[in-house]
Amino acid sequence: MNSLFLMALLSIVGLGIIYGFEALKPEKIQVDPEFVGEKRQITLGFGEIYVPENWMVTELDDAQHAVEGLQLLMPVQLDSEVAEINVDLVQASRTTPSAFLLDALYIHRFSSDPAKYQYGLVGRQLKDGDGYKDESVWYDPLRPQPFVAKCVKPLADEIEAPNCLETKLVTKRVAAVIKFPEQVLPQWKAFDAQMRAKLNIMTKAD
């Protein structure tokens, strides 16, 4: 048998096996970003919140209604795909909203590097030291309660990992630490609007 023909045949067989394996992979479950499941009343610290059960990662016993913290996955629509965003709910007394940190802390740590202007955001590098290393802040300069994200330099540009975070208040007593990849930044307006709406959902029992 001609060696070139044999190589071509093996290549075709190999592709068939690869496509076969791909076909056998379970389809990714499609998550509806608008769906809000049954809410569960939870006391977090000294604050009351109402968390849709389909967002909850932390497993609670049926009788458990008081926690010190709670892990969630919140679905948001970004372009043509749905992203599930990591959110940690904590006592507000244990953290500080990012919008407050912008003026109280970050602005005093801006490096001498020139500002970047992308996606309607201002990006500033933070000076290394005092616990900071390869970190930057991206913020909306126009709104009184702005979108403010602190991002650490990713290990590789092609890796999509939650290297940015923003802290927002859910209520006066409960805060949300939102973790997301920097690839979300070009769509920050849609992302921020959806996250604000979802956090507001947890302030109401119905």
Among residues 39, 98, 92, the alpha carbon closest in space to that of 68 is found at 92
Residue with tokens 């959902």: 201
Predicted pLDDT of residue 144: 85
What is the model's pTM?
0.82
Measured distance CA(81)–CA(33) in Å, rounded? 10
pLDDT above 60 for 86? yes
Average pLDDT over residues 144-171: 89
The strand pair at 39-44 and 66-67 is best described as parallel
pLDDT above 80 for 13? no
pLDDT tens digits, 68-84: 899 999 999 998 889 99
Tokens of residue 28, six digits: 């990714």
Predicted pLDDT of residue 28: 53
pLDDT tens digits, 29-53: 678 889 999 999 999 988 999 999 9
The strand pair at 81-91 and 116-118 is best described as unpaired
CA distances from 10 to 1, 20, 23 (A): 13, 15, 20
pLDDT above 70 for 125? yes
Measured distance CA(166)–CA(4) in Å, rounded? 57
Mean pLDDT of the chain: 86
The strand pair at 81-91 and 70-78 is best described as antiparallel
Tokens of residue 3, six digits: 């060696």
Measured distance CA(49)–CA(41) in Å, rounded? 6
Query: What residues have CB less than 8 Å from 21, skipping those under 6 apart?
Result: none
Phi, psi torsion values for 139, nearest 5 degrees:
-145, 155
